[in-house]
Amino acid sequence: MTGPAARFRALPLRSRLALLVAVAVAIAVAAVAVVSWLLTRNQLNAELNNTLRNTSAPAEAVQQAYDNCYNNARVDQDFPPFAYFQLVAPDGRRCVAPYSEPVKVKPSDVEVANGKRKSALHDSVTADGSPVRVHTSLMRIGNGLPVTVSVSRPLDEIDTSLNRLALLLSGLAGFGVIGAGLAGLWVARTGLKPVDRLTGAVEHVARTEDLTIHIPADGEDEIARLSRSFNAMTAALASSRDRQARLIADAGHELRTPLTSLRTNIELLARSEQTGRAIPPDDRRALLASVKAQLTELAALIGDLQELSRPDAAQGGPLTVVPLHEIAGTALERARLRGPELVFETSLAPWWVRAELAALERALVNVLDNAVKFSPPGGTVEVRLAAGQLTVRDHGPGIPADELPHVFERFWRSPSARALPGSGLGLSIVARTVQQAGGGVELTPAAGGGTRVAISLPGAAEPPPAVPAPPRPPAPPSF
């Protein structure tokens, strides 16, 4: 597109603003100028009409014109030519007063001469084509003889004044438009300085990927709000990039340990095959069991990393209404397999929540796995679900108070649990899943020793009513 609209959009923003201001001022000035000119013309015409209505032809000039036309008496007397006078006969003939210009007689003048109307006010022209304004009325002269007199005034004096006024208004409008354009350009440059600053910051971020830049945001206008939004965006991006870098570094650190141990065990098995020196059967079974355990730990760590690699707002599946008590029961069965020597005291009241089934089950399994992992042999794990709050309490060593603020951080592990299997991602996944379901999770020391985990999820004690299935259409007839 190469039309005016496309060319206008191609201009810089400050040029468009200046042009729009100039056009708006030009339209306003033009409207004011036209209205002023029309009002002035109407006022001048009204004054001229009043002057003609209030002007009476000198009796001497009328008598002289009558004598010249009807009595064949040539009496040439000098009268000031402030207006044109002429007599109008009922048949449309005219008798022009001395020093006056003959004016074309109109039908309305003849109607006045014939007594059909009292007066007439109209435009006409002289013999040489000059425009005049005419007022025709009855007048008595001499011994009371009625005559029809037309008094005319040239319109050149009004036209001259109007032309001068139009020239003056045009000049003022031109200066106003030029001044408005310059003022608009100045206002655009001044008002767009914050936008220029913001544009420079965006270009700097795009060029250098430096997210530490900060734009001053003073005031409460739209530009200040935009600057604050940009600062918040860059801060969020910087925080996200830092978390990503920490995740990569922590993941590399956590992956290095099982990979190193796995490589050591595999190298021992390979060296045994290369040298022909057989490893004792018990040691070989231990190495293979260690390799299997390390592979299992590595697979679990990769699964946790995949879970945490999703954006916080993303979800692996749709949120549906699921029975929390049944999910907790399934997680308990898996926990009993991991800790057959433990005693599980359970009380699960029905509770339905809106969550992602697989993610919620995995979160509960993580919580119960931690309880099994830190419980002493023959210990008790208490699991309660009442009024939407699921609590899991173990009787293990507990967590020191100074470590509680870090338990939901990614890859954080208590120094006392470094020797135990795990990646430090379990509770992070729990917190993430519960938050996506609209709930909250809290980990506190339990009275008498151990740790208590409380998960609260909004829901209801009864399932929602089932939506009836739509009726199936009738089967087509068979032939």
User: Does the structure show a pLDDT above 80 at 154?
Assistant: yes
* DSSP string for 410-446: TT---GGGTTSS--S-HHHHHHHHHHHTT-EEEEEEP
Q: What percent of the chain has pLDDT over 70?
A: 79
Neighbours of 64 (CB within 10 A): 22
CATH of the domain at 418: 3.30.565.10
Report the distance separating Cα 44 and Cα 24, nearest Å.
30
In a domain, 1, yes or no: no
Q: How confident is the model at residue 414 (pLDDT cuts 50, 70, 90)?
A: low
Six token digits for residue 429: 């996944």
pLDDT at 107: 92
Q: Assess whether 303 and 327 both reside in one domain.
A: no
In a domain, 467, yes or no: no
Residue at a domain's end among 260, 278, 309: 309
Q: How far is CA 245 from CA 194, 211, 236, 410, in A?
A: 33, 14, 14, 12
Say if CB 184 and CB 21 are below 8 A apart. yes
pTM over 0.95? The answer is no
Q: Assess whether 155 and 88 both reside in one domain.
A: yes
Dihedral sign for Cα 364, 366, 367, 373, please. positive
Neighbours of 386 (CB within 10 A): 12
Report the distance separating Cα 156 and Cα 182, nearest Å.
39
In a domain, 50, yes or no: yes
In a domain, 22, yes or no: yes
Beta strands in 44-144 (DSSP E): 84-88, 94-96, 119-125, 131-141
Q: Assess whether 18 and 134 both reside in one domain.
A: yes
Task: Of 82-86, 388-392, 455-459, 462-466, give the lowest mean pLDDT range.
Answer: 462-466
Q: Assess whether 20 and 147 both reside in one domain.
A: yes
Neighbours of 372 (CB within 10 A): 21
pLDDT at 385: 92
Mean of pLDDT values over 371-391: 88
Q: Assess whether 298 and 335 both reside in one domain.
A: no
Q: What are phi and psi of 340, to 5 degrees?
A: -65, -20
In a domain, 441, yes or no: yes
Q: Assess whether 106 and 21 both reside in one domain.
A: yes
Work out how many domains the chain is built from and give that number: 3
Report the distance separating Cα 216 and Cα 198, nearest Å.
10
Q: Assess whether 287 and 336 both reside in one domain.
A: no
Helix (H) or strand (E) holding 153: strand 145-154
In a domain, 251, yes or no: yes
Q: Which structural domain, as residue segments, surrounds residue 23?
A: 10-191
Report the distance separating Cα 303 and Cα 359, nearest Å.
12
Q: Assess whether 236 and 175 both reside in one domain.
A: no
Task: Of 87-101, 252-266, 311-325, give the lowest mean pLDDT range.
Answer: 311-325
Residue at a domain's end among 173, 191, 209: 191
Q: Assess whether 143 and 103 both reside in one domain.
A: yes
User: Buried (b) or exposed (e) across 84-96, using 16+ Cβ within 10 A?
Assistant: bbbbbbeeeebbb
pLDDT in tens, 327-360: 999 888 888 888 888 889 989 999 999 888 888 8
* Residue of 294, 305, 286 whose CA lies nearest to 263: 294
Helix axes 281-309, 222-275, angle to 10 degrees: 170
In a domain, 478, yes or no: no
In a domain, 357, yes or no: yes
Q: Assess whether 293 and 334 both reside in one domain.
A: no
pLDDT at 127: 84
Beta strands in 267-379 (DSSP E): 320-323, 343-348, 352-355
Q: Assess whether 277 and 343 both reside in one domain.
A: no
Report the distance separating Cα 53 and Cα 344, nearest Å.
118
Q: Assess whether 152 and 22 both reside in one domain.
A: yes
